[in-house]
Amino acid sequence: MNAPAQVPAAMRQAVDDAKARVARLHDELPRWELVVWTAGNVSERVPGVDGHPDLLVIKPSGVQYDELDAGAMVVCDLDGALIEGTRNPSSDTAAHAYVYRHMPDVHGVVHTHSTYATAWAARGEEIPCVLTMMGDEFGGPIPVGPFAIIGDDSIGRGIVETLSGHRSTAVLMQNHGPFTIGASAKSAVKTAVLLEEVARTVHISRQLGEPLPIPQEAVDSLYDRYQNVYGQ
Q: Is 111 a catalytic residue?
A: yes
Catalytic member of 92, 111, 116, 223: 111
Catalytic member of 52, 113, 166, 203: 113
Helix (DSSP H) and strand (DSSP E) numbers for the chain: 7, 8
Q: Which residues does residue 26 pair with via DSSP β-bridges, in sequence order?
A: none
Q: Is 113 a catalytic residue?
A: yes
Give me the sign of the Cα torsion angle 24, 29, 32, 37: negative
Query: Which runs of consecutive H residues, i.e. helices, occur in 68-215?
Result: 93-102, 115-123, 132-138, 154-163, 185-208
Catalytic member of 16, 17, 77, 136: 136
Q: Is 26 a catalytic residue?
A: no
Catalytic member of 26, 96, 107, 176: 176
Q: Is 107 a catalytic residue?
A: no
Phi/psi of residue 178, each to 5°? -85, 145
Q: Is 96 a catalytic residue?
A: no
Total residues belonging to the chain: 232
C-alpha angle 181-191-112 in degrees, rounded to nearest 5: 75
Q: Distance (Å, rounded) from C-alpha 97 to C-alpha 102?
A: 9
H helix or E strand, kind and range, residue 70: none
Q: Please tell me what DSSP assigns to residue 211.
A: P
Q: Distance (Å, rounded) from C-alpha 24 to C-alpha 5?
A: 26
Cβ neighbours of residue 213 closer than 8 Å, sequence gap 6 or more? 128, 129, 130
H helix or E strand, kind and range, residue 109: strand 108-111
Question: What is the set of active-site residues?
Answer: 111, 113, 136, 176, 230
